[in-house]
Amino acid sequence: MIVDLPNTTTSKISKALVRIREEGGAVALGRVLTLIIASTMGHEEEAIEAANDASREHPMRVIVMSTPESDPTDPHASARIDAEIRVGGDAGASEVIVLRAYGDAASDQESLVTGLLLPDAPVVAWWPGVAPVVPAESPLGRIAYRRITDASAQPDPQAALHHLCASYRPGDTDFAWTRLTLWRAQLAAVLDQPPYLPVTAVRVSGAADSPSTTLLAAWLSMQLQVPVDYEFTTGPMSHGIRCVHLTRSAGVISLEREVPDIATLTQPGQPVQDLTLKRRSLRDCLSDELRRLDPDELYGEVITRGLPHLDDVVAELTGGRS
């Protein structure tokens, strides 16, 4: 069910939610958190669909703060808020409130959403598109326990990743890190088997627009305390992380994904294995991040210490050439 509320106010939206609950019993009260999605008009639906799917694991209230793509605070635009309430089959196991703010009404996003937050429930803010300069200091980031960005959605993913290093605050996270979960788990499982020899060198390769490749190299460099050589690949099959090579005295461990969703694991003295290693969907990444509401300390260490250390190592190996 979708209820349209053109030219409305936060108070009217709250009353409409109560009325829907009383009349149809369509909105349950067992919500565990409030998810705020900051988006631009015309680009909300993919994020809403991912949130609806994730809500089956994390029942929540979803508030979509949508503003015009050109100039959200255009003084020549009439100030108004158009709202849309989605419940039942149109909202998964959540209730979705879409706020489309125009003109001066878009200048104070924090006030717009404050009256719609669930009482005594944690708040998570998510920017599926372009993120604020400092997420923790943005109007929506200030009221959130966790703040989720996506470096791969920025105009320059690699530059965005290094900007996250400078703007990091506890509670921040990025989907470039979340997409590494399966890769990190597989590599950790391989190194947790005999003969337990130290890794002496690492090589990582992936697409140039994949900040996850850079974060994986930073994590390996920090955890293994060895130089990491990483390179960016091009071509029609260059998407995400391509391969990881771990060199030990007994030989090279290789984990390569040359076809979608399937990786090949090669180890000295063992048969070659084909493993399922899917590219994680938006829904998978969001569900993963909503499982924890405390700061991701490992991500914080990788983005603030591992990434600068990786840059220093690369600069040293290349003589300062970028």
Asked whether residue 144 carries a pLDDT value surpassing 80, the answer given is yes
| Cα 160 from Cα 164, distance rounded (Å) | 6
> Is the peptide bond between 195 and the residue preceding it cis, with omega within 30 degrees of 0?
yes
Stated as kind and residue range, the H or E segment containing 44 is: none
Is it the case that residue 269 has pLDDT exceeding 80? yes
The number of residues making up the chain comes to 322
Please check whether residue 71 is in contact with residue 102, taking contact to mean a CB–CB distance below 8 angstroms.
no
CA dist list (Å): 303 to 25, 115, 172, 222, 239: 45, 34, 10, 11, 22
The per-residue pLDDT for range 305-315, each reduced to its tens digit, is 999 988 776 55
Give residue-wise pLDDT tens across range 28-85. Answer: 556 789 999 999 999 999 999 999 999 988 889 999 999 987 665 555 668 899 999 9
For tokens 């996506």, name the residue. Answer: 150
175-322 belongs to which CATH class?
alpha beta
For the stretch 279-284, contacts whose Cβ atoms lie closer than 8 Å and that sit 24 or more positions apart, written own/partner, are 279/179, 279/239, 279/240, 280/178, 280/179, 280/181, 280/182, 281/50, 282/46, 282/47, 282/50, 282/128, 282/175, 283/49, 283/50, 283/53, 283/54
pLDDT at 123 over 80: yes
Report the range of poorest mean pLDDT among 61-75, 107-121, 245-259, 276-290.
61-75
pLDDT-wise least confident of 58-67, 108-117, 232-241, 262-271: 232-241
Q: Burial, 30: exposed, middle or buried (Cβ in 10 Å; 0-12, 13-18, 19+)? A: exposed
- Report the pLDDT averaged over residues 215-237: 86
> Distance from first CA to last CA of the chain, Å, rounded?
54
Q: What residue ranges do the domains of the chain occupy?
A: 2-174, 175-322
Amino acid in the structure at residue 226: V
Tokens at residue 56, please? 């089956």
- 201, two tokens: 């060198």
Q: Quick one: pLDDT at residue 72?
A: 57
Q: What is the pLDDT of residue 137?
A: 96
The one-letter amino acid at 193: Q
Question: What's the average model confidence in pLDDT over 267-292?
Answer: 94
Q: Please compute the mean of the pLDDT values over residues 120-134 and round it to a whole number.
A: 95
* 3-class DSSP assignment, residue 117: coil
Helix (H) or strand (E) holding 50: helix 45-54
* Alpha helices, DSSP H, located in 60-155: 109-114
27 pLDDT more than 80:
no
